[in-house]
Amino acid sequence: MKFWRTPLDIDKLQIPRGELHILKERCKGCGFCVEYCPKGVLELSDEFNSKGYHPPKAVKPEECVNCDLCELLCPDFAIYCVRAEAGEKEVSN
């Protein structure tokens, strides 16, 4: 029993930063990304998309650590994160 990888919580020493992309028209407002972003980067916006859903918006974009969890959980391929060009910072704890 030794096969898995990085657990959900972040325990690396070096944390990258992420650039979020939200494809609002695809979003169906499920809230998975918002709920499970480990850094609380996201919130559902008040705005409607044309299907009548509230896509998320990044309320603390600078906190994004490019963990990709939002991307992985999004059932509608509506959000993704790419590693930001900017430098990396160390974990505080």
Q: Which does 84 bind (CB under 5 to 8 A by kind): other proteins, ligand SF4, none?
A: other proteins
Q: Which does 88 bind (CB under 5 to 8 A by kind): other proteins, ligand SF4, none?
A: none
Q: Which amino acid is at 86?
A: A
State the CB neighbour count (10 A cutoff) for residue 49: 17
State the CB neighbour count (10 A cutoff) for residue 57: 17
Q: Which does 70 bind (CB under 5 to 8 A by kind): ligand SF4, other proteins, none?
A: ligand SF4
46 binds other proteins (CB under 8 A): no
> Is 49 in contact with 25 (CB distance < 8 Å)?
yes
54 binds other proteins (CB under 8 A): no
